[in-house]
């Protein structure tokens, strides 16, 4: 009798293995991620979150996240009852809890950046940011929600595999680097999900632009640079240059549209072509950061673009640093060892609370299946939401209007045709009327720069969301303004205060006509 034929010896099995190898060879360079790219992504996300908390949220903590500010918990409960019940930040209206939670968020972001207990740090950061965003949805933009989605997907990725304290912890403590680990691409459902998710953001935005006459005529970019509430830093110079040389902004309009539509190539091309495409997107995002007030958004997108850089880039980076005497591996290893030494000194029994869960192959396999299902459902839900928000598909009948109207559209399909600001007038007890609505001539006073009327990016976002709101969110703003007027050096206190939303129409060539003021609320102080 001939020996029994095993499963692996069957011709069909060999063919199956060959097909899997071929498919893997095609997909891995496109949907896989270099471990060093994951490390750079982790570091960038941690630093972006930390910078956002320290330089954007902290200065506005009392104003936007306490009951004494412009958005108290009562207003949150009336407008967003689900968010009010879900947010940890809504447990108290005082400044103390907000400061404590902000400190926890900063520590979690720092731990994420250095790769210290990375998965726990990522989870804490996700929970913290979700709670913070739920506390005041009126100061969010697309960058905040994209950041949260990337952090959530980071829970399923090996962010700690390179350049981290955790990588050092899992290797020989006396090693020179904390960077031992795989150097080939990691390819999984998780890596494919985050790459496809990110590309979809760009691709849908590019598709929406074809619904717009402004983008198709090449005038959208020029009009955007006339929106003074967004344009800062080098933005006014670009707007002036575009007025004198209109062809430059027309070219920028078409270049950006073409780049967005070509974003799907990030999942198609490899090696040098992919590097060139990534650099083009990075340049565009840094250009936005240098000319427009968009908060963390451009830096979030740059952080995600790092995931697409192939091994060639990281090999060259490591070789260059080593040749220049600034070996990143040694620096990371030294920093990691100091962190572990500090941990052992502060928590001598750290091994007692750092539990390792031992599980059998069956349980691990089940865990991978569950994670894959979660990731696929997440991707389908987010892509479906984007397509519905863009009007490409119908939303489910039970979808709330706030969710249905939201999307990551970013000046699409049509950029605004006016810039705006808020003005106020107050009648004082002495009979005098003071405020910022009109000038000495009695005409509406157009500020030299509308961006200056919003002291921070949070004020700009808040004002943008108020444009389409009813009276409810205006009342705490009016009370806040009454207190500010009362504290100012006027001869008497305010009795009545009026809030106005003012718009200045614009074309690609600049402002046209006169500003239009609409009274939104009259409030007794």
88-130 pLDDT, tens per residue?
A: 999 999 999 999 999 999 999 999 999 999 999 999 999 999 9
CB-based contacts of 154: which residues, under 8 Å, 6+ apart?
41, 42, 45, 122, 194
pLDDT at 344 (0 to 100): 64
Between 2 and 342, the higher pLDDT residue: 342
Which is nearest to 75 in space by CA: 412, 475, 392? Answer: 475
Report the pLDDT averaged over residues 42-63: 97
Q: Is 223 helix (H, G, I), strand (E, B) or coil?
A: helix
**CA dist., res. 499 & res. 523, Å (int):** 8
Q: Model's pTM, two decimal places?
A: 0.89
Phi, psi (degrees; rounded to nearest 5) at 498: -120, 135
pLDDT at 441 (0 to 100): 72
Per-residue pLDDT tens over the stretch 439-472:
777 788 888 887 888 889 999 999 999 988 888 9
**DSSP conformation letters of 48-112:** HHHHHIIIIIGGGHHHHHSTTTTS-HHHHHHH-HHHHHH-GGGG--SHHHHHHHHHHHHHHHHHH
Kindly indicate the confidence band of residue 332, based on its pLDDT and cuts at 50, 70 and 90: low
Query: How many degrees, rounded to 5, is the angle at CA 419 between CA 455 and CA 256?
Result: 100
- Of 148-157, 215-224, 352-361, 378-387, which range is least confident? 352-361
CB 205 within 8 A of CB 408: yes
Per-residue pLDDT tens over the stretch 143-165:
999 999 999 999 999 999 998 88
pLDDT at 173 (0 to 100): 46
Q: Is there a cis peptide before residue 92, judged by omega within 30 degrees of 0?
A: no
Residue 1 confidence (pLDDT) above 50: no
**CA dist., res. 460 & res. 293, Å (int):** 9
CB 308 within 8 A of CB 255: no
Which is nearest to 331 in space by CA: 496, 163, 129? Answer: 163
Residue 19 confidence (pLDDT) above 80: no
Which is nearest to 504 in space by CA: 517, 494, 489, 485? Answer: 517
**CA dist., res. 463 & res. 138, Å (int):** 8
| Torsion (CA) 194, 197, 203, 205 in degrees, nearest 10 | -120
Mean pLDDT across the chain: 86
Between 341 and 144, the higher pLDDT residue: 144
**CA dist., res. 525 & res. 518, Å (int):** 20
Report the pLDDT averaged over residues 16-25: 76
Residue 4 confidence (pLDDT) above 70: no
- Of 209-213, 405-409, 458-462, 512-516, which range is least confident? 405-409
pLDDT at 333 (0 to 100): 60
Which is nearest to 296 in space by CA: 124, 466, 55? Answer: 55
Per-residue pLDDT tens over the stretch 483-499:
999 998 888 899 999 99
CB 146 within 8 A of CB 297: yes
Place of tokens 């680097």: 177
pLDDT at 422 (0 to 100): 94
Domain ranges of the chain: 31-184+330-351, 188-309+360-415, 418-524
pLDDT at 369 (0 to 100): 86
Kindly indicate the confidence band of residue 39, based on its pLDDT and cuts at 50, 70 and 90: very high
pLDDT at 349 (0 to 100): 53
pLDDT at 205 (0 to 100): 92
**CA dist., res. 354 & res. 139, Å (int):** 37
**CA dist., res. 360 & res. 362, Å (int):** 5
Place of tokens 């990731």: 375
Residue 246 confidence (pLDDT) above 70: yes
Residue 375 confidence (pLDDT) above 60: yes
Q: If 0-12 CB within 10 Å is exposed, 13-18 middle and 19+ buried, where does residue 326 land?
A: exposed
Measured from the Cβ of residue 196, the count of other Cβ atoms closer than 10 Å reads: 17
């Amino acid at each position: 009798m001939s020996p029994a034929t095993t499963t692996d010896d069957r011709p069909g099995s060999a063919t199956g293995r060959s097909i899997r190898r071929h498919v893997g060879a095609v997909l891995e360079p496109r949907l896989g991620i270099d471990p060093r790219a994951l490390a750079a992504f982790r570091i960038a996300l941690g630093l972006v979150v930390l910078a956002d908390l320290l330089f954007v949220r902290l200065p506005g903590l009392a104003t936007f996240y306490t009951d004494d500010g412009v958005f108290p918990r009562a207003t949150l409960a009336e407008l967003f009852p689900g968010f009010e019940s879900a947010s940890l930040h809504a447990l108290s209206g005082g400044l103390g809890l907000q400061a404590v939670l902000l400190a926890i968020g900063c520590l979690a972001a720092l731990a994420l950046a250095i790769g210290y207990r990375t998965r726990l740090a990522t989870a804490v950061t996700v929970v913290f940011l979700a709670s913070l965003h739920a506390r005041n949805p009126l100061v969010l933009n697309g960058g905040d929600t994209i950041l949260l989605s990337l952090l959530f997907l980071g829970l399923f990725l090996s962010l700690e595999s390179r350049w981290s304290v955790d990588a050092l912890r899992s290797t020989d403590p006396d090693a020179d680097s904390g960077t031992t680990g795989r150097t080939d691409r990691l390819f999984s459902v998780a890596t494919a999900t985050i790459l496809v998710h990110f590309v979809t953001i760009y691709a849908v935005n590019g598709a929406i632009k074809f619904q717009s006459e402004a983008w198709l005529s090449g005038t959208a970019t020029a009009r955007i640079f006339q929106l003074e509430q967004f344009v800062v830093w080098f933005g006014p110079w670009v707007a002036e240059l575009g007025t004198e040389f209109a062809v430059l902004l027309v070219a920028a309009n078409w270049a950006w549209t073409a780049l967005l539509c070509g974003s799907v190539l990030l999942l198609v091309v490899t090696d040098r072509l992919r590097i060139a495409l990534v650099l083009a997107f990075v340049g565009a995002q840094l250009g936005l950061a240098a000319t427009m007030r968009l908060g963390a958004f451009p830096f979030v997108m740059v952080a995600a673009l790092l995931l697409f850089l192939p091994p060639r880039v990281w090999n060259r980076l490591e070789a260059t640093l080593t040749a220049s005497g600034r070996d990143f591996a040694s620096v990371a290893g030294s920093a990691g060892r100091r962190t572990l030494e500090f941990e052992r000194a502060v928590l001598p029994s750290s091994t007692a609370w750092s539990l390792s869960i031992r599980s059998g192959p069956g349980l691990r396999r089940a865990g991978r299946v569950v994670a894959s299902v979660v990731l696929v459902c997440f991707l389908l839900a987010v892509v479906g939401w984007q397509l519905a928000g863009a009007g490409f598909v119908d939303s489910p009948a039970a979808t709330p209007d706030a969710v249905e109207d939201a999307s990551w559209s970013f000046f699409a399909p049509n950029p605004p045709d006016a810039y705006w600001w808020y003005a106020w007038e107050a009648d004082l007890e002495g009979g005098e009327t003071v405020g910022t609505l009109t000038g000495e001539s009695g005409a509406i006073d157009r500020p030299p720069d509308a961006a200056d009327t919003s002291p921070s990016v949070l004020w700009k976002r808040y004002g943008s969301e108020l444009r389409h709101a009813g009276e409810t969110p205006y009342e705490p703003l009016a009370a806040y303004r009454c207190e500010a007027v009362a504290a100012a050096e006027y001869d008497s206190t305010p009795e009545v205060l009026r809030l106005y939303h003012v718009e200045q129409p614009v074309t690609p060539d600049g402002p046209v006509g006169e500003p239009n003021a609409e009274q939104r609320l009259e409030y007794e102080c």
